[in-house]
Amino acid sequence: MGCLGCQGGEEMLSSSIQDYSDCSIMYNGLNLINVTSTESLSALSNLHDIRGSFNIQNSNFQNLSFLSKLESMRFRSESLVFNLQNNL
């Protein structure tokens, strides 16, 4: 599998998550807020590396199995690095 990098950082919407299905590296972090459709999350199953903050809020995820191939997370000196809040 090639290492296709994608720009993250912006809030991902349920309707746009499918656009990231070929990504193995997410630059500028993963930002899922108010995402309630778990069907669309399989598009993130190819992610191996997240570079930047990890932010999941106000979702109904019961687990993070859609990130089963994730091997590493790399952070810069950001104030918010890993945030999981207000989830089911």
CA 85 – CA 57 distance, rounded (Å): 5
Average pLDDT over residues 17-33: 92
Domain that holds residue 19: 5-85
pLDDT in tens, 34-80: 988 888 899 999 999 999 988 999 988 888 999 999 999 988 765 66
Q: How many structural domains does the chain have?
A: 1
Task: Check pLDDT > 70 for residue 3.
Answer: no
Question: Residue 26 is part of a domain; what is its CATH number?
Answer: 3.80.20.20
Confidence at residue 75, expressed as pLDDT on a 0 to 100 scale: 82
What integer pLDDT is reported at residue 78 of this predicted model?
Answer: 59
- In sequence order, the 6+-apart residues with CB closer than 8 A to the CB of 8 are 20, 26, 27, 28, 29, 30, 31, 50, 52
Residue scoring higher pLDDT (60 or 88) = 60
pLDDT at 1 over 50: no
